[in-house]
Amino acid sequence: MNTNITDIFFDLDHTLWDFDKNSEMAFDRIFKEKYTDVKTQDFIEKYIPINQECWRLYQNDKITHIELRYNRLKFSFDALNYSISDENINEIANDYIEFLTDNNYLFDGAIEVLDYLKPKYKLHIITNGFAHVQEKKINNAALGGYFNTITNSELAGVKKPNSIIFDYALNLAQASKENSIMIGDDLDADVNGALNAGIDAIFFNDKKIEAPIHFKQINHLLELKKYL
């Protein structure tokens, strides 16, 4: 247990907020209402890895926000050999963003671990997600009361893993690097990003992927009690 820690920074999507589950429910609603010939499960199977790759490119400034929203859908429909117009893709992209925050499933143990940490530490969020969407997720999932500050990439002007966003978050939180720790699911954006910025990190490895053994890691959020 690290007794020097005063401030804990969480990623939001895939760490506290169950993006995959909530995302699938948003697509299921869209397809049932307007594209009944698309099976949600078949689409999601293609979408998840494509979305991850698009986000990786977006995080590293290889594609724009608009390209991210279009490409992840276009490439997923292409992978299904499903013919769809650009107009319909843009319509789905808008509906998806609108419906995404209607469901707000959190990872198992999220509220319990936040309740455990809140009296002991100052809690914060650093997210690459779009500001207005992330705000809705946090509010609709009743997470707002747990966090002293919320840093998103639009505010900071850069995205994780760029060290500038971590410096921005530290400044906003009035926290020091040596007394802070970052928790997130993305080895590149969250873990290496934080470590390269001089901040300790814990990898939330709920999918139990192979990861370097020298990283602190957990498979369930309640395992944070071992470290904090």
SS3 75: helix
**Rounded distance, CA 71 to CA 77, Å?**
10
Question: How many other C-beta atoms lie within 10 A of the C-beta of residue 210?
Answer: 6
State the amino acid at position 179 in one-letter form: N
**Between the CA of residue 209 and those of 169, 190, 204, 217, what are the distances in Å?**
28, 15, 10, 11
Q: Is the pTM of this model over 0.85?
A: yes
SS3 106: strand
DSSP per residue over 124-174, as a string?
EEEE-S-HHHHHHHHHHTT-GGG-SEEEEHHHHSS-TTSHHHHHHHHHHHT
Per-residue pLDDT of 109-139, as tens digits, reads 999 999 999 999 999 999 998 888 999 999 9
Take residue 13 and report the two structure tokens written for it: 């999507």
**Rounded distance, CA 76 to CA 78, Å?**
5
Per-residue pLDDT of 147-203, as tens digits, reads 999 999 999 999 999 999 999 999 999 999 999 999 999 999 999 999 999 999 999
Query: Contacts for 53-59 with beta carbons within 8 Å, 24 or more apart?
Result: 55/128, 56/188, 58/128, 58/159, 59/128, 59/159, 59/160, 59/161, 59/188, 59/189
State the pLDDT at residue 211. Answer: 84
Per-residue pLDDT of 30-57, as tens digits, reads 999 999 999 999 999 999 999 999 999 9
Q: Report CA dihedral (218, 141, 105, 97) to the nearest 10 degrees.
A: -110
Take residue 113 and report the two structure tokens written for it: 């671990």
